[in-house]
Protein backbone atom coordinates (compact mmCIF):
# COMPACT_ATOMS: atom_id res chain seq x y z
CA UNK A 1 0.00 0.00 0.00
CA UNK A 2 1.46 3.39 -0.90
CA UNK A 3 1.59 6.21 1.63
CA UNK A 4 -1.44 7.98 0.21
CA UNK A 5 -3.65 4.91 0.51
CA UNK A 6 -2.18 4.09 3.90
CA UNK A 7 -2.78 7.58 5.31
CA UNK A 8 -6.30 7.73 3.94
CA UNK A 9 -7.23 4.31 5.29
CA UNK A 10 -5.83 5.14 8.74
CA UNK A 11 -7.83 8.37 8.76
CA UNK A 12 -10.98 6.53 7.80
CA UNK A 13 -10.37 4.07 10.60
CA UNK A 14 -9.54 6.70 13.23
CA UNK A 15 -11.66 9.75 12.48
CA UNK A 16 -14.56 10.22 14.89
CA UNK A 17 -18.22 10.23 14.02
CA UNK A 18 -19.19 13.12 11.74
CA UNK A 19 -19.74 16.37 13.57
CA UNK A 20 -21.47 18.95 11.44
CA UNK A 21 -20.13 22.37 10.49
CA UNK A 22 -21.34 25.19 12.75
CA UNK A 23 -23.56 27.96 11.41
CA UNK A 24 -21.72 31.11 10.33
CA UNK A 25 -21.01 33.64 13.04
CA UNK A 26 -23.90 36.02 13.42
CA UNK A 27 -23.56 39.79 13.65
CA UNK A 28 -19.78 40.30 13.66
CA UNK A 29 -18.58 43.74 14.68
CA UNK A 30 -19.63 46.49 12.27
CA UNK A 31 -18.17 49.97 12.41
CA UNK A 32 -20.28 53.06 11.80
CA UNK A 33 -17.31 54.58 9.96
CA UNK A 34 -15.11 51.78 8.56
CA UNK A 35 -12.80 54.24 6.77
CA UNK A 36 -11.92 55.99 10.01
CA UNK A 37 -11.22 52.66 11.73
CA UNK A 38 -9.15 51.52 8.74
CA UNK A 39 -7.00 54.66 8.94
CA UNK A 40 -6.45 54.33 12.69
CA UNK A 41 -5.53 50.64 12.47
CA UNK A 42 -3.21 51.25 9.50
CA UNK A 43 -1.39 53.99 11.36
CA UNK A 44 -1.03 51.67 14.39
CA UNK A 45 0.68 49.07 12.20
CA UNK A 46 3.03 51.53 10.56
CA UNK A 47 1.18 52.67 7.41
CA UNK A 48 -0.30 55.98 6.28
CA UNK A 49 -3.63 56.80 4.66
CA UNK A 50 -3.98 59.65 2.18
CA UNK A 51 -7.54 60.62 1.24
CA UNK A 52 -7.75 61.75 -2.40
CA UNK A 53 -10.50 62.87 -4.76
CA UNK A 54 -8.91 62.00 -8.10
CA UNK A 55 -6.03 60.23 -9.83
CA UNK A 56 -4.58 63.68 -10.59
CA UNK A 57 -4.27 64.17 -6.87
CA UNK A 58 -2.38 60.85 -6.57
CA UNK A 59 -0.11 61.92 -9.45
CA UNK A 60 0.57 65.18 -7.67
CA UNK A 61 1.36 63.32 -4.43
CA UNK A 62 3.77 60.98 -6.23
CA UNK A 63 5.49 63.93 -7.94
CA UNK A 64 5.98 65.85 -4.72
CA UNK A 65 6.35 63.21 -1.98
CA UNK A 66 8.33 60.64 -3.96
CA UNK A 67 10.37 63.17 -5.98
CA UNK A 68 13.72 61.73 -4.87
CA UNK A 69 12.84 58.11 -5.74
CA UNK A 70 14.43 56.70 -8.88
CA UNK A 71 12.29 53.78 -9.92
CA UNK A 72 8.53 54.20 -9.57
CA UNK A 73 6.26 51.68 -11.27
CA UNK A 74 2.51 51.26 -11.32
CA UNK A 75 -0.08 48.84 -12.61
CA UNK A 76 -2.68 51.63 -12.77
CA UNK A 77 -3.11 53.17 -16.25
CA UNK A 78 -4.33 56.48 -14.75
CA UNK A 79 -0.89 56.94 -13.19
CA UNK A 80 1.20 56.19 -16.30
CA UNK A 81 2.16 59.86 -16.69
CA UNK A 82 4.20 59.80 -13.47
CA UNK A 83 5.48 56.21 -13.50
CA UNK A 84 7.92 54.13 -15.54
CA UNK A 85 6.76 52.83 -18.92
CA UNK A 86 7.31 49.32 -20.24
CA UNK A 87 8.43 47.69 -17.00
CA UNK A 88 5.95 44.82 -17.25
CA UNK A 89 6.62 41.22 -18.16
CA UNK A 90 10.30 41.03 -17.14
CA UNK A 91 12.10 38.44 -15.05
CA UNK A 92 10.79 38.99 -11.50
CA UNK A 93 14.36 39.30 -10.19
CA UNK A 94 14.78 42.45 -12.27
CA UNK A 95 12.34 44.30 -10.01
CA UNK A 96 14.80 44.23 -7.15
CA UNK A 97 15.61 47.92 -7.56
CA UNK A 98 12.03 49.21 -7.60
CA UNK A 99 11.73 52.04 -5.11
CA UNK A 100 7.98 52.48 -5.22
CA UNK A 101 5.21 50.31 -6.58
CA UNK A 102 1.69 51.70 -6.85
CA UNK A 103 -1.04 49.10 -7.24
CA UNK A 104 -4.79 48.86 -6.81
CA UNK A 105 -6.60 46.77 -4.20
CA UNK A 106 -10.03 45.20 -4.66
CA UNK A 107 -11.10 46.31 -1.20
CA UNK A 108 -9.89 47.04 2.31
CA UNK A 109 -10.92 45.72 5.73
CA UNK A 110 -11.35 48.13 8.64
CA UNK A 111 -10.74 45.76 11.57
CA UNK A 112 -7.16 45.00 10.51
CA UNK A 113 -6.33 47.47 7.71
CA UNK A 114 -5.78 44.57 5.31
CA UNK A 115 -6.14 45.14 1.57
CA UNK A 116 -7.10 42.32 -0.81
CA UNK A 117 -4.94 42.19 -3.92
CA UNK A 118 -4.94 39.45 -6.55
CA UNK A 119 -2.39 38.59 -9.19
CA UNK A 120 -3.91 40.64 -12.02
CA UNK A 121 -3.59 43.81 -9.92
CA UNK A 122 0.13 43.13 -9.29
CA UNK A 123 1.15 42.27 -12.86
CA UNK A 124 3.81 40.04 -11.28
CA UNK A 125 3.34 38.34 -7.93
CA UNK A 126 6.59 39.59 -6.47
CA UNK A 127 5.85 43.31 -7.02
CA UNK A 128 4.16 44.21 -3.69
CA UNK A 129 6.88 42.32 -1.77
CA UNK A 130 10.11 43.27 -3.52
CA UNK A 131 9.58 47.05 -3.73
CA UNK A 132 11.15 49.33 -1.12
CA UNK A 133 7.88 51.17 -0.58
CA UNK A 134 4.35 50.12 -1.45
CA UNK A 135 1.43 52.39 -2.28
CA UNK A 136 -2.06 51.04 -2.78
CA UNK A 137 -5.14 52.74 -4.18
CA UNK A 138 -8.50 51.66 -2.80
CA UNK A 139 -11.93 53.15 -3.34
CA UNK A 140 -13.45 54.62 -0.22
CA UNK A 141 -16.69 52.74 -0.86
CA UNK A 142 -14.78 49.46 -0.91
CA UNK A 143 -13.69 49.47 2.71
CA UNK A 144 -15.71 46.94 4.69
CA UNK A 145 -15.78 46.31 8.43
CA UNK A 146 -14.58 42.76 9.02
CA UNK A 147 -13.09 39.61 7.51
CA UNK A 148 -16.45 37.87 7.13
CA UNK A 149 -17.57 40.67 4.81
CA UNK A 150 -14.19 40.46 3.13
CA UNK A 151 -14.56 36.80 2.22
CA UNK A 152 -18.14 37.40 1.12
CA UNK A 153 -16.63 39.86 -1.37
CA UNK A 154 -13.93 37.41 -2.48
CA UNK A 155 -16.65 34.73 -2.75
CA UNK A 156 -15.67 32.12 -5.33
CA UNK A 157 -13.40 34.38 -7.35
CA UNK A 158 -10.80 32.53 -9.39
CA UNK A 159 -7.19 33.70 -8.99
CA UNK A 160 -3.76 32.18 -9.24
CA UNK A 161 -2.52 34.14 -6.26
CA UNK A 162 -4.15 36.58 -3.89
CA UNK A 163 -3.04 38.20 -0.67
CA UNK A 164 -4.22 40.37 2.17
CA UNK A 165 -1.60 43.03 2.84
CA UNK A 166 -1.77 44.94 6.13
CA UNK A 167 0.94 47.57 6.50
CA UNK A 168 4.66 47.41 5.78
CA UNK A 169 6.80 44.29 6.14
CA UNK A 170 7.93 44.00 9.74
CA UNK A 171 9.67 41.95 12.39
CA UNK A 172 10.13 42.03 16.13
CA UNK A 173 12.41 39.02 16.28
CA UNK A 174 15.24 40.88 18.02
CA UNK A 175 14.16 41.36 21.64
CA UNK A 176 10.60 42.16 20.53
CA UNK A 177 11.70 45.56 19.14
CA UNK A 178 9.46 46.41 16.21
CA UNK A 179 11.38 47.14 13.01
CA UNK A 180 9.61 48.08 9.77
CA UNK A 181 11.00 46.71 6.51
CA UNK A 182 12.13 43.17 7.29
CA UNK A 183 12.38 41.95 3.70
CA UNK A 184 9.60 43.77 1.88
CA UNK A 185 8.37 47.37 1.83
CA UNK A 186 9.65 49.62 4.58
CA UNK A 187 6.47 51.66 4.56
CA UNK A 188 3.01 51.65 3.07
CA UNK A 189 0.83 54.44 1.76
CA UNK A 190 -2.85 53.83 1.11
CA UNK A 191 -4.67 56.30 -1.13
CA UNK A 192 -8.33 56.28 -0.21
CA UNK A 193 -10.04 57.43 -3.35
CA UNK A 194 -13.41 59.09 -3.31
CA UNK A 195 -14.16 60.46 -6.76
CA UNK A 196 -16.14 63.67 -6.79
CA UNK A 197 -18.73 62.14 -9.13
CA UNK A 198 -19.26 59.06 -6.92
Partner 1 sequence: MSTGTKDHAGLADIFNEDEARVDWHDETLWFVRAKRDKAAHTLPEWEALRENASKIKDNVLSNLHDYLLQFEAKAQQNGITVHWAADAKEHNEIVTSILKAQSVTRIVKSKSMLTEECHLNEHLQQNGIEVIDTDLGERIVQLAEEPPSHIVLPCIHKKKEEIGELFHEHLGTPQGESDPQFLTAAARVHLREKFLTRKAAITGVNFAIAETGEFVVCTNEGNADMGAHLADVHIACMGIEKIIPKRKHLAVFLRLLARSATGQPITTYSSHFNKPRAGQEMHLVLVDNGRTKQLGRADFRNSLKCIRCGACMNTCPVYRRSGGHSYHTAIAGPIGSILAPNLDMKEYADLPFASTLCGSCTNVCPVKINIHEQLYKWRQVIVKEGYADKKKAVAMKAMEFTLSHPFVYKNAGKAGRWVIKHAPFMVNNNLNLWYKQREMPEPPKQSFSEWYKKNNNE
The residues in 159-178 that bind partner 1, with binding defined as CB under 8 A, are 159-177
User: What's the DSSP call for residue 20?
Assistant: P
Q: Is 32 in the site for partner 1 (CB under 8 A)?
A: no
By CB under 8 A, the residues from 92 to 111 that bind partner 1 are 92-93, 96, 111
> CB of 161 within 8 A of CB of 128?
no
Measuring CA to CA, how many Å separate 119 from each of 46, 80, 127, 146? 24, 19, 10, 22
Shortest approach of partner 1 to residue 198 CB, angstroms?
Answer: 27
By CB under 8 A, the residues from 35 to 54 that bind partner 1 are 41, 45
Q: Is 17 in the site for partner 1 (CB under 8 A)?
A: yes
What CA–CA distance (Å, rounded) separates 160 from 62? 30
- Which of 32/64 has CB closer to partner 1? 32
Q: Is 81 in the site for partner 1 (CB under 8 A)?
A: no
The H or E element containing residue 136 is: strand 133-139
What CA–CA distance (Å, rounded) separates 47 from 126? 20
Residues touching partner 1, count (CB under 8 A) = 73
Selected from 50, 76, 82, 147, the binder of partner 1 by CB under 8 A is: 147
- Which of 52/121 has CB closer to partner 1? 121
> CB of 117 within 8 A of CB of 127?
no
Amino acid sequence: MNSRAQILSRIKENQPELSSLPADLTAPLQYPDPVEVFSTVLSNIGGTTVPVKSYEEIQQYIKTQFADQKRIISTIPELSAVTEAGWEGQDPHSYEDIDIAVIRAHFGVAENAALWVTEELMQQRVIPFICQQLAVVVQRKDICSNMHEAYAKVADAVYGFGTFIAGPSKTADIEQSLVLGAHGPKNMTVFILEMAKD
